[in-house]
Copies of this chain bind each other. A is one copy, B any other.
């Protein structure tokens, strides 16, 4: 039996608490699987009340995490501080500079600084591991980097934010408005008091940028992720989706083709019989397309103390077992820089909903705009009658370029008979 792997945890919030509990509860099991003890030697949190909350036993307490990054008796630090800059970043940099492995659940940090941190780790001969940063308990980083290592991966996509999936599921099931359901999600603890990070797609964009890098062997390019949230999704659109055979999900989709990478996070209409369409509530799912393996889907809990701790500690077990895989599947020097494909050039099908005055000639104007921009109509539904009032008109298109759709939207929005801004949702068929 080798020496214990000595671990220090920075941040004892939800994930830190889960990790602390897991290392305690499953200590024997971890020792059998790792071939050595995984021993918690130090913990830190800015809130010194945590010191009492946790029965720390012989574990050293720090109010400030930084000394742990330099402590002689620490082999690995677990960074659960959060945030892409500031303390979290300095803490990881310091740990690496001091020859310590780093395990983190911090998606923002990896999305913004993953390449440089991994390079520093590579040069220092230590590991930086971040399974917990993407899709919680689903071991997707390991799957992409190792399990599917034989494949040229062409696409990776998924439901990467449980808060949004919970809200969209609840909206569909209850017919309620977005703001209603968001308020409920906040009460239940499924959404933050300040929910923008989740519902505007930023969190999913962080995760997508990380997945794309591992899948395609390219430098993380978070800035190139197109991202759009779910605030504008209405029960009306959810109803039309159902009628058209679709469900609305917030997806993150990264694909590689023709020497370009497309990364986008936005609500999608997907066929209701697609496996990923049946992933509901707070669950996450990631689908991968590879040239030999074909399609693989993984579904599980994307957040929460237990699932995220499962991912954190799996990284610790890998380190304890001396399994070293390059952080982004290949050494940093071998990562490609691949041009991002701008969203205007996205090619796909679209759903557009207009509110129009119920009067003759409107459909003719809309159809003319579509024709003028070479957009081929798939279906047109006018719903209801309201002489003198506004009715819904829904258009779905065949595959076309996004820039043409944007022009159509602009023209149509300017029509006198159109009473509110048109809504557009992209249609994906997998």
Question: Which residues does chain B contribute within 8 Å of A184, judged by CB atoms?
Answer: none
Say yes or no: B139 contacts A143, CB within 8 Å.
yes
One of B34, B297, B304 near A300 (C-beta < 8 A) = B297
Q: Is A317 part of the binding interface, using a Cβ–Cβ cutoff of 8 Å?
A: yes
Q: Is the CB of B137 within 8 A of A314?
A: no
- Would you list 9 pairs from A and B whose C-beta atoms are within 8 A, ordered by A residue? A32-B217, A138-B296, A142-B143, A150-B313, A150-B316, A275-B278, A292-B309, A297-B297, A299-B299
Which of B22, B292, B310, B334 interacts with A310 by CB under 8 Å?
A: B292
CB-defined contacts of A34 to chain B, threshold 8 Å? 149
- Total contacting residues, chain A, CB less than 8 A: 61
Whether A275 pairs with B293 at a CB distance below 8 angstroms is: no
A234 on interface, CB distance cutoff 8 Å:
no
Contact A310 B325 (CB under 8 A): no
- A175 within 8 Å of B (CB atoms): no
Binding-face segment, A23-31, A81-89, A200-208, A381-389: A23-31
| Contact of B293 with A306 in the complex, beta carbons under 8 Å | yes
Report the separation of the CA atoms of residues A308 and B18 in the bound assembly, to the nearest whole angstrom.
36
Given contacts A294-B137, A323-B323, contact A142 B146 (CB under 8 A): yes
B-chain residues with CB within 8 Å of residue A359 when the two chains form the complex: none
A301 at interface (Cβ–Cβ under 8 A)? yes
Question: Is there contact, CB below 8 Å, between A147 and B152?
Answer: no
Instruction: Return A36 CB to nearest CB of chain B, in Å.
Output: 12
- B137 near A293: Cβ-Cβ < 8 Å: yes
Query: Do A295 and B290 have beta carbons less than 8 Å apart?
Result: no
Report the separation of the CA atoms of residues A326 and B275 in the bound assembly, to the nearest whole angstrom. 33
Instruction: Tell me if A296 and B293 are in contact (CB < 8 A).
Output: no
Given contacts A142-B147, A152-B26, contact A292 B306 (CB under 8 A): yes
Which chain B residues lie closer than 8 Å to A292 at the CB level? 18, 22, 26, 137, 306-307, 309-310, 313
Interface residue ranges, A against B (CB under 8 Å):
18, 22, 25-26, 29-30, 32-35, 131, 137-139, 142-143, 146-152, 217, 275, 278-279, 290-301, 304, 306-307, 309-314, 316-318, 321-326, 329-331, 334
Q: Decide: A310 and B295 in contact? CB cutoff 8 A.
A: no
Whole-angstrom CA separation of A50 from B138 in the bound complex: 41
Known: A143-B147, A146-B142, A313-B150. A307 touches B294 (CB 8 A): yes
Given A150-B314, A151-B26, A295 and B291 contact (CB-CB distance below 8 Å): no
Closest to A288 in B: B300
Tell me how far the C-beta of A26 lies from the nearest C-beta in chain B, rounded to whole angstroms.
6
Q: Is the CB of B296 within 8 A of A300?
A: yes
Q: How far is the CA of A138 from the CA of B288 in the complex (A)?
A: 11
Most buried by B among A131, A147, A306, A313: A147
Would you call B300 and A299 a contact (CB within 8 A)?
A: no
Which residues of B lie under 8 Å from residue A35 when comparing CB positions? Answer: 326, 331
In the bound complex, residues from chain B placing their C-beta under 8 Å from that of A326 are 33, 35
Cβ–Cβ contact A291 & B26, under 8 A: yes
Q: Once the chains bind, are A314 and B146 in contact (CB under 8 Å)?
A: yes
